[in-house]
Amino acid sequence: MSKTNYAAIDIGSNAVRLLIKSINPEADNPVFSKEQLIRVPLRLGEDSFSKGEISAEKGKKLHRLIKAYRQLMKIYEVKNYRACATSAVRDAANGSTLIKSISRKTGIRIEIINGEEEARLIYDNHIEEILDKQTNYIYVDVGGGSTEISLISEGKLKNSRSYNIGTVRLLEGTVKKSTTARLRRDLTKFAALYPKLRIIGSGGNINKLFRLADISIKNNVELPVEKLRKINETLKTFSTEERIPAFNLRPDRADVITHAADIFLKVATYTGATIILVPTIGLVDGIIDSLYAQDIKKEETNDEHLRKTPVS
């Protein structure tokens, strides 16, 4: 039985990721296995949020990287892929022109997706299947340029919203007070309508913060908000340079990790949540799950068509 490979490219504000996963569609219970994950910290948001456009230098690097990702997808014989550009490219004055040029030169189709589509894709990794249907959840994905919020109740997606509040934006000092006020207003309203909310945390920073928390119980994905607060306070006593060796952080993580923690702590304060679930999933996982779901739907449609076609 042969496996099928899928790929996702996430052109984010802090890093550009390629995830390749395989699945055996003939298995009784098909599950994905990670074949390759590459993350390159181009930090496109550094240009986009402070200068309003992506520099020629970073544009060239992105072009080279997408070419390299294309070759890797060929090597892994990827059946289907989706490449999505998010907040930094959305906001850059030259973002659309740059992406069209890279798509033409590399042959890789790249979409610039809006915040709502980003939130939907993040939710598309079927997290609802492992949740308690009696509990209300806020799914929070913190990126470099934006934070996506999805409200889940009774196992169903009730609302998805996107806010231009991200770690690189905070680092650059470009988050608007009105955006923070809208986040607070919306989450306070959600908390009133859906009591006892629990947070599901997504993104590289919360994954690292969870590891720093050193939760001793195996397979536990719960990070108490108070523990996150203490970790954040400890991290802030170190300079960015000191955090790198002290906590085994990459340079592009060391300068934004406390900003990510601040965002999660704000969400916890506004919703009254005391626990953050950290299942280590993100946008690229959602993209691949969405691609697989589309293929399954096509196969079912074709099967239905064959059943209804009369034999001549």
Q: Give pLDDT tens digits along the chain (312 positions).
A: 478 999 999 999 999 999 999 998 777 777 889 999 999 999 999 999 999 999 999 999 999 999 999 999 999 999 999 999 999 999 999 999 999 999 999 999 999 998 778 777 776 655 666 677 888 999 999 999 999 998 988 888 888 899 999 999 999 999 999 999 999 999 999 999 998 899 999 888 999 999 998 876 555 789 999 999 999 999 999 999 999 999 999 999 999 999 999 999 999 999 999 999 998 777 788 888 889 888 887 766 655 544 555 544
The closest of 149, 155, 166, 25 to 90, measured between CA atoms, is 166
The 10 Å Cβ neighbour count of residue 148 is 28
- Distance of CA 250 to CAs 13, 234, 239, Å? 16, 17, 13
Of 147, 232, 165, 150, give the one whose Cα is nearest residue 197.
Answer: 150
- Would you say 225 and 275 are in contact if contact means Cβ atoms under 8 Å apart? yes
Sign of CA dihedral 41, 210, 229, 241: negative
Using alpha carbons, select from 214, 197, 292 the residue that is nearest to residue 248.
214
Spatial separation of the C-alpha atoms in residues 18 and 14, rounded to whole Å: 14
SS3 299: helix
For residue 198, the surrounding DSSP H or E stretch is strand 198-202
Domains 4-113 and 126-281 share a fold: yes
H helices within 76-203, ranges in order?
Answer: 87-91, 95-106, 115-123, 167-172, 177-193
Q: In this structure, are residues 4 and 53 in contact, taking their beta carbons and an 8 Å threshold? A: no
Shortest CA distance to 270 belongs to which of 164, 205, 197?
197
Q: What separation in angstroms does the CA of 115 have from each of 1, 150, 197, 300, 301?
A: 38, 11, 22, 30, 30
- Cα separation, 201 vs 281, in Å, equals 9
Whether the predicted model's global pTM rises above the 0.75 cut: yes
Contact criterion met (CB below 8 Å) for 23 and 78: no
Fold of the 4-113 domain: Nucleotidyltransferase; domain 5 (3.30.420)
| Side-chain half-sphere exposure of 239, counting CA atoms within 13 A | 2
Residue-range domain boundaries for the chain: 4-113, 126-281
- Dmax (CA) of the chain: 78
**In Å, how far from its chain's centre is CA 61?**
22
Domain formed by 126-281, architecture: 2-Layer Sandwich (3.30)
What does the alpha-carbon distance between residue 165 and residue 152 come to, in Å, rounded to a whole number?
Answer: 21
In this structure, are residues 33 and 19 in contact, taking their beta carbons and an 8 Å threshold?
A: no
